[in-house]
Amino acid sequence: MLPLAILAGGFATRLGPLTENYPKCLLDINGRPFVDWQLELLVSKGFTDFVLCVSFKSELIQEHLGDGDRFGARIIYSKDGETQLGTGGAIRKALPVLGSKFGVIYGDSYLPVNYFAVEQKFLNTNGMALMTIFRNRGEFDVSNVEYKEGRLVNYEKGTVNPKMHYIDYGLSYFAAESFNSTPAETPFDLAHLCHELASQRKLDGFEVSERFYEIGSAQGIEEFTKYLREVPR
């Protein structure tokens, strides 16, 4: 499996006091830090090499995870520095350790999906980027993807468009060259790059049917906790 970047540098202000002193990925979920659940899943799916893009309270994440050996993985850390670089800027800075092709997942996402199938689709199409999408119809959040006849037509976060029935599932793959036009050491949102790639027909889509879980909201934490208690492990 290709290296996987985990975006774990945000402040998580939506969770208020829960993340005042801890990074979101270290939130206790059903007796364990969320990142333990996430890494355990990802390693079981075949991933071995991770790059954690960190910023806020990054020393706590490094102290907890170390080099990843206890998970059977290798973890490298890429730090934003004095200024938070946003999701796009963080990946841009991590490119030297990510290599020519890699995956990206958010540090608050738990995605029970066939990662191998997604990765193979990306590698076999020789595209610049690929985004997993879920037919959302506005159920879990505002739909932000227009997907028609097997093609990702448009991606635009933060807008309401009646043509959009899908949502970014939270797992994407990129060729490093897709970041060539982005500035180094400058904050920007990965969503802006994905929008540009989609408008240039350089962003492929991969539809998944499994729902996603996240801990970016109180409701998300409740639903993921329920999932862990109900699903046999």
Say which CATH number the domain at 38 has.
3.90.550.10
Rounded to whole angstroms, how far apart are CA atoms 214 and 7? 13
Q: Is residue 197 part of a domain?
A: no
Looking at residue 21, its pLDDT comes to 79
Looking at residue 9, its pLDDT comes to 84
Q: Is residue 156 part of a domain?
A: no
Q: Is residue 152 part of a domain?
A: no
Q: Please answer whether residues 152 and 49 qualify as being in contact, where contact means their C-beta atoms are separated by less than 8 angstroms.
A: no
Q: Is residue 146 part of a domain?
A: no
Rounded to whole angstroms, how far apart are CA atoms 174 and 195? 14
Looking at residue 158, its pLDDT comes to 82
Q: Is residue 38 part of a domain?
A: yes
Q: Please answer whether residues 184 and 80 qualify as being in contact, where contact means their C-beta atoms are separated by less than 8 angstroms.
A: no
Looking at residue 36, its pLDDT comes to 98
Q: Is residue 187 part of a domain?
A: no
Q: Is residue 28 part of a domain?
A: yes
Looking at residue 231, its pLDDT comes to 82
Q: What is the pTM of this model?
A: 0.95
Provide the residue range defining the domain that includes 78. Answer: 4-131+170-182+204-230
What are the 10-residue block averages of pLDDT along the chain, 233 residues in total? 93 65 90 97 98 91 97 97 92 98 97 98 92 88 90 90 93 98 94 95 95 93 95 72
**What is the number of structural domains in the chain?**
1
